[in-house]
Amino acid sequence: MVRFLTRKIADNLYLLRLDDDQIRYFEGLWEVPEGITYNAYLLVHHDKYVLIDTWKHAYASEFIEVLKGVVDVRDIDYVVVQHMEPDHSGALPKLLEENGFKAEVLGHPIVKGMIESFYHISPKFRAVADGSEIPVGSEPLKFFYTPWVHWPDNIMTYAPSLGVLFSSDAFGNYSIPSTVFDDGGLSTTYVHYARKYLATVVGHYREHVLKAINKLGEAGIEIKVIAPAHGLVWRSNPKEIIEYYLKWARAEGVKGKVVAIYASMYGFVEKAMREVTEELSERGFKVVTYAFTDSQHSLLSEVIGDALDAQALVIGVSTYEAGAFPLIEYLAELLARKTASEKSVLIVTSYGWGGAAGKKLADVLTSAGFRVADVIEFRGYPTKDDVVKLREAASKLARELSLISD
């Protein structure tokens, strides 16, 4: 059952949160058994009511009901559309209808045309300029363009009197947190879900995350609270999640972390991967393994999230129809799009009568910037000699990662 939550999070600021535990695939793509929240905010500024974002279209009626618990919807003066992806803008038409189209919509210039094409409505619209301030009541709201975190329209909104940065998708996390705030500090659970969110949703545009954080730093604003559009509100130590974001945006590897990914139809590749991962574990590496076999399928979203901060990857794949096994080929393309970096990759590949998978995978990953450390190819089930080669390749990779010495 989805849950709706209203919480006063500051004197004049309300969080309106939809806890969506019915969703299975965020954006129709990413498996999220942990669910997700959509966070909208209502700011009351000296008798002026400012709504920042909304919810998904499917919950537009519920959004209006929840909003009515806090304000007469006809009294809303401004709606800040920080991002047009429909998980945040979906309830906008219903809201404006209930509001009598009285409110002025504020957003990036591109938003006007997006509203018209997405929802076939033309509300009063004011484009905000990057770095500009708009007085609301007796106090200003400040706006920052943060394009491509996640779409070109993304902006962030800063309320100076509260020190609150409304950050849209940035600093968001998957899951339905049991609390509103991150009080008690950043737990490993939410680090995991924030990294997974960044990798899957914004991973392709990570350089723009760095630009956005740099821009906020140069603006010299004091950020006491980060209020994202998904997940926890960060107030315990907002700098901490920013630091994580910087590391993830650079795809910095956690020393000693290797992500092993393989598909194995009949156990041949699985045997080879076991040899490689055992060798790495024996040499002090923490190996996180994701498998695709006839008895299990890992979640693609988890693979992408975990790969982002791995020090290296090991990928096991067999040749299939003169190419790479399709699931792994698809995953390699996702890795290239979302986690492209200079990480080392060891490819382990099996064939029955003609090898093609290793080269195919190496081409995809190399063109995204990965460093293919080795391609170890063997025919059928790995022989004793193959096992020696596999363990030597793992050992060489370990040495290259500078974690062991001979």
Residues forming the site for ligand FEO (CB under 6 A): 83, 85, 87-88, 150, 169, 229-230
Cβ neighbours of residue 338 closer than 8 Å, sequence gap 6 or more: 199, 200, 203, 204, 304, 308
Torsion angle defined by CA atoms of residues 252, 345, 362 and 339, in that order, rounded to the nearest 10 degrees: -30
Rounded to a whole number of angstroms, the minimum distance from the CB of residue 338 to ligand FEO is 14
The residue among 148 and 181 lying less far from ligand FEO, judged by its C-beta, is 148
Rounded to a whole number of angstroms, the minimum distance from the CB of residue 27 to ligand FEO is 8
Which residue is listed with tokens 């309320």? Answer: 159
Task: Give the span between the Cα atoms of 79 and 96, in whole angstroms.
Answer: 9
Q: Is 101 helix (H, G, I), strand (E, B) or coil?
A: coil
The tokens for 135 are 């007085």
Q: Quick one: three-class SS letters along 334-354? A: HHHHHCCCCCEEEEEEEECCC
Rounded to a whole number of angstroms, the minimum distance from the CB of residue 313 to ligand FEO is 26
The residue among 150 and 360 lying less far from ligand FEO, judged by its C-beta, is 150
In the complex, residue closest to ligand FEO by CB: 85
Torsion angle defined by CA atoms of residues 328, 330, 333 and 335, in that order, rounded to the nearest 10 degrees: -60
The residue among 57 and 359 lying less far from ligand FEO, judged by its C-beta, is 57
Biggest distance spanned by C-alpha atoms of the chain: 78
The residue among 174 and 262 lying less far from ligand FEO, judged by its C-beta, is 174
Rounded to a whole number of angstroms, the minimum distance from the CB of residue 184 to ligand FEO is 25
The residue among 169 and 377 lying less far from ligand FEO, judged by its C-beta, is 169
256: left (phi over 0), alpha (psi -120 to 50) or beta: left
β-sheet bridge partners, residue 144? 156
Q: Are 228 and 168 in contact (CB under 8 A)?
A: yes
Rounded to a whole number of angstroms, the minimum distance from the CB of residue 175 to ligand FEO is 14
Rounded to a whole number of angstroms, the minimum distance from the CB of residue 134 to ligand FEO is 23
The residue among 150 and 235 lying less far from ligand FEO, judged by its C-beta, is 150
The residue among 17 and 88 lying less far from ligand FEO, judged by its C-beta, is 88
Rounded to a whole number of angstroms, the minimum distance from the CB of residue 86 to ligand FEO is 8
